[in-house]
Structure 1
Amino acid sequence: MTTLNGQQALTQLWAAAALDPSALERAQLPAGEAPLPSSFAIGALAQASIAASALMAAEFWRLRGGAAQTVSVELAHAAAEFRSERYLRVDGAPAPELWDAIAGPYPCGDGRWVRIHTNFPHHRDGILRLLDCRHDKDSVAAALQDWQAFEFEQAAAERGLVATAMRSFDEWDRHPQGQAVAALPLLNIERIGDAPPLARPFAPRPLQGIRALDLTRIIAGPVGGRVLAAHGADVLRVTSPLLPSILPLDIDTGRGKRNAELDLRQAVDGEQLRRLLSEADVFIQGYRPGGLAALGFGPEQAARLRPGIVYASLSAYGHAGPWAERRGFDSLVQTTSGFNHAETAAFGGVQPRALPAQALDHAAGYLLAFGVIAALSRQAQEGGSWQVRVSLAQTGHWLRQLGTDHAGCAVADPGLEQIAPWLGDYASDFGALRAVRHAAQLSLTPAHWTLPSMPLGSHAAEWLPR
């Protein structure tokens, strides 16, 4: 199967959002050899999704009175940014380990594989209780021999845990959730309420003056917020002091943001978020579907509180189908939707092989930012309140459509030395950071972060003056 290059993938994405194709003339995405070891077009996925968010920012700036400008994204740099958490260094040393000791794939008693995700303590402890075993790989492996893969997957889901059975593409395509995902567009940008167009006067940077609330965790959602900050938005990340986090991801995706903590189960903190939302332009959330709505912060509720809002939601499996409310992470979506099975076959292995990046996470983050800026553009021209919906599974379905090329299996995995040209040095409250710079180059409004990474809860839950 022929793979699409980044320019072709960007054209697909632009059409999916029903945008003016003339803007594509200002995008420069040079092709090249596969940058990562995979049978899938990870490089094109990275190049196109990063370019889409940047080109949309450039077009929004033009809408505000700025000049037309070019956007370029180098293929290998884009692929490196899709692995930014792997390359992060703090005071010259690798960042703390991301993965829990027992996370990963295991064979079950029926010979099929499952993957468990235990990076959060409550997920880890729940899996150990379900299996009645110790916190070590040998104990988990032995316990799973008493299970069939699909039964374990279902038992974990019923307990709010995160584990999936490995499926082939054919099996996923026959699964009700796979069919629901295939019926969805790549992303949804929908009008959900009436509001007058909001004035967007000229500013030196594309998103300067835009206020964005970022209620997301892990990789995809925080990457989306980081993109908005790279183009000048005031991004306020709001987390709960009661929820676990993963430090190296917070460091990497925290560039350019302020961080506040609110416990939405407390009336005073819920009221403070309502005040913030009433003055926001963008609300990004990645919690379990329906979770924020139960607290009064669903899309329709937000549109009533702040007419003209752009409300963006990220999910694992999409907003339709029997798994619409199921929790999930990139590695689990890769496993259940066929990618691990396909990569294992392409490389001639036995154990499930993951993609060489958290590619669904990163791509979904850039698609989230792209959708948000596209919705901001429509709001400025048409009015209305808008909802953007992106999921890891829909992003994966798009990656499949970009094609495969087994020649990519022979590519060497790039280490720190190979991606050194794209690293930058950043000050932070965690220490001196060396991290991957943003891959999108805008000719007139260079993307950059003006704020350092800071620990969660470092800032007041307030907006800066516009």
Structure 2
Amino acid sequence: MKEISQALGLPGAWTETGQGSLPSCFAVSDLASASVASVGEGIATLRAALGETPAEVTVDRRLASLWFSFSIAPQGWDLPPAWDDLAGDYRAADGWIKLHTNAPHHRAAAIRALKCAETREDVARAVSAWKAADLEAAVVTEGGVAAEMRSLAEWAKHPQSKAVAAEPLVTWDTPRAGKIRDWGGTPERPLQGLRVLDLTRILAGPVATRALAGYGADVLRIDPVDWEEPSLAPDVALGKRCARLDLRSPEGRAQFAQLLAGADLFVNGYRPDALERLGLGAAWRAEVAPQLMEVRLCAYGWTGPWAQRRGYDSLVQMSAGLAAEGMGWSGAENPAPLPVQALDHATGYLMAAAALTALRDAVAGKGIMNARLSLARTAALLACYPADDRAAFAPAGKADFGAYLEQTPWGPARRLAPPVSVTGAPMSWDRPACNLGSSPPVWV
């Protein structure tokens, strides 16, 4: 997938080891290897810009694919269920629709649109009376999230698909003059001392900042006071500190301004207009933290009629034809999504690589750059790559995990071995996964 290295200005000279693939009609394991490799190459080229000797980058295809699922294996305890009891695929009058109801306010929005009781049977009965496109629009109007299942051909004709196709894989803002802080990294830990302010949630953004923490970055994740991710925090909070702020309050915004002013990198997964509505928009951020580099994420692209639409990986798969294509390929009677949330994970690694590219160019005196990515644009890339005939991977086993026992707040766990190797700069994490809100909102 040469588009990845080209979008990031990387040499694309990494080596892959291992065989096998995740079962899909698309080249999901190729995407896993290439996106993970972009982080390794980002670290290698940053080290070179800092005067270190060139490094070789090697990706383990199997491990890269496994990291696209869960990296953690609890020992004697279980992860909570990943999905709300109403979430999932429903048959509408003319096709299929996915309701995403994990967040309480999204669940309430779906019920308001359907005007039914909160049981799966009642929801299924109510959905069956709707046309899928009409229900999708109704749920979105209520402030919820849903996606009609479209074919690849149907999506290609959609105005949002055409807008996304015209966007680059990574959109770079015009570089601006300025110098970044000497964060004090070392050859072995290139990002040690780099302050990363993480304003992201499920799932691509947390993957990005987890990767940066793997090379020493001081990642401070900020969540709303009432937000929890019980099924995901053990996986994606690895290496981070996690705090809470109410950005709707004057006190919360003032504390956020202090954090932003002290940060080197801001990773933002909120919808394009969300911070603007809170008074924390781009102009405000530029005034508070003129030295700051930003990497931003959205679901459905930065242009087009759906640019402000809420979305998640599973919804984008439905909208963009991936679930329909999987259904036909597998002969399933229901929508068949990718075997993992590949759009989230791949986009997360590309976000991390974009941050490393921006750091590299800033070190070289080329100015300060911001980057923007979207799940829908990553989906457009994957849709161009059908799978080959490699055999399916065996499930994760003992040999795939590191030797040490990670002591998490939930109990001991094994963590997958790192999926990428950069000579002279091993990927490792300085702290175990933690609960959301377990740290104060301050730099240390």
**TM-score class, shorter:** over 0.9
Shift of 1:17: 2.3
1:208 and 2:192 equivalent?
A: yes
Structure 2 counterpart of 1:450, from 404, 411, 430: 430
CA distance in 1 between partners of 2:7 and 2:393 (Å) = 32
Match of 1:78 in 2: 64
* Alignment CA distance shift 1:192-1:245 (3 Å): farther
Is residue 59–residue 419 contact of structure 2 (8 Å, CA) maintained in 1? Answer: yes
Shift of the 416–136 alpha-carbon distance from structure 1 to 2, 3 Å rule, reads: farther
Per-residue deviation, 1:423: 5.0
Partner of 2:31: 45
Is the counterpart of residue 181 in structure 1 residue 160 in structure 2? no
**Shift in CA distance, 67/427, structure 1 to aligned 2, threshold 3 Å:** farther
For 2:214, the equivalent position in structure 1 comes to 230
Picking from 85, 88, 110, the partner of 1:104 is: 88
Question: Residues 150 and 103 (structure 1 numbering): CA distance in 2 closer, same or farther, change over 3 Å?
Answer: same
Give CA-to-partner distance per residue, 1:427-459, whole Å, 9 cap, x none: 122211223233111221101000111111211
SS of residue in 2 equivalent to 1:79: helix
Does residue 369 in structure 1 map to residue 352 in structure 2?
yes
TM superposition shift of 1:328: 0.4
Aligned-residue Cα RMSD (Å) equals 1.8
Q: 1:292 to 1:52 in 2, by over 3 A?
A: same
1:65 is aligned to 2:56 = no
**Aligned with 1:312: secondary structure?**
strand
Aligned to 1:428: 408
On the 8 A contact 1:88/1:94 being kept in 2, the answer is: no
Residues 163-197 of structure 1 deviation map (CA, whole Å, 9 limit, x = unaligned): 01000111101000000011111111223643235
Retained in 2: the 8 A contact 1:226–1:257?
A: yes
Offset at residue 355 of structure 1 (A): 0.5
| Equivalent position of 1:33 in the other structure | 20
CA contact (8 A) 1:181 1:321 kept: yes
Deviations 1:288-336 (CA, angstroms, capped at 9, x unpaired):
2211122233334323322231111111011101000000000000001
Per-residue CA shift, 1:357-380, capped at 9, x if unaligned? 000000011011011111111222
How far is the alpha carbon of 1:412 from its aligned partner?
Answer: 4.9
Residue 4 of structure 1 aligns with which residue? none
Map residues 27-426 of structure 1 onto 2, 5 A cutoff: 27-30=14-17, 32-34=19-21, 36-84=22-70, 88-110=72-94, 112-191=95-174, 193-196=176-179, 198-199=181-182, 203-204=186-187, 205-242=189-226, 244-405=227-388, 407=389, 412=392, 414-417=394-397, 420-422=399-401, 425-426=405-406
**Separation in 2 of the partners of 1:148 and 1:202?**
55
Q: Are 1:462 and 2:439 counterparts?
A: no
| TM-score normalised according to structure 2 size | 0.95
Deviations along 1:227-249, one digit per CA (max 9) or x if unpaired, are: 1100111100111113x322121
- CA separation in 2, counterparts of 1:211 and 1:176? 39
Structure 1 counterpart of 2:92, one-letter code: C
SS at match of 1:382: coil
Whole-angstrom CA distance in 1 between matches of 2:76 and 2:423: 31
Contact 1:218–1:250 (CA under 8 A) maintained in structure 2: no
1:103-162 CA-to-partner distances (Å, cap 9, x unmatched) read 11111112x110111111111122122212233322111111110000001111111111
Instruction: In structure 2, list runs of 5 or more residues that go unmatched.
Output: none
Identity percentage over the alignment?
38
In structure 2, relative to structure 1, the CA distance for the partners of 1:269 and 1:200 (3 Å cut) is: closer
> 2:175·2:366 contact (CA, 8 Å) conserved in 1?
no
- The 2-side partners of 1:135 and 1:364 are apart by 34
1:202–1:107 CA distance, 2 compared to 1 (3 A) = closer
Q: 1:187–1:389: 8 Å Cα contact kept in structure 2? A: yes
Secondary structure in 2 aligned to 1:94? coil
Paired residues of 1:88 and 1:95 also in contact (CA < 8 A): no
Query: Mean alpha-carbon deviation: is it higher for 323-332 or for 90-99?
Result: 90-99
The equivalent of 1:438 in structure 2 is 418
The DSSP-based 3-state class of the residue aligned with 2:232 is helix
Q: Which amino acid aligns with 1:394?
A: R
- TM-score, normalised relative to structure 1: 0.90
**Amino acid paired to 1:443:** T
1:413 deviation in Å? Answer: 6.7
Cα drift, residue 400 of structure 1 = 1.4
Q: Check the 8 A contact 1:77/1:422 in 2, yes or no.
A: no
- Quick check: 375-384 or 52-61, which moved more? 375-384
Give the conservation status (yes or no) of the 8 Å contact 1:200–1:380: no
CA distance, structure 2, for counterparts of residue 315 and residue 248 of structure 1: 22
Q: Which runs of 4+ in 1 moved over 6 A?
A: none
What SS does the corresponding residue of 2:364 show, helix, strand or coil? Answer: helix
After superposition, the Cα gap between the structure-2 partners of 1:330 and 1:219, relative to the gap in structure 1 and judged at 3 Å, is same
Which letter does structure 2 place at the counterpart of 1:136? T
Q: Are 1:299 and 1:311, in contact at CA under 8 Å, matched by a contact in 2? A: no
Distance in 2 (CA, whole Å) between partners of 1:176 and 1:214 is: 32
Please give the alpha-carbon distance, in whole angstroms, between the structure 2 residues aligned to 1:68 and 1:433: 35
Sort the Cα spacing of 1:182 and 1:449 in 2 relative to 1 into closer, same or farther, 3 A: same
* Contact 1:64/1:202 (<8 A) preserved: no
2:180·2:264 contact (CA, 8 Å) conserved in 1? no
Whole-angstrom distance in 2 between the partners of 1:81 and 1:249: 13
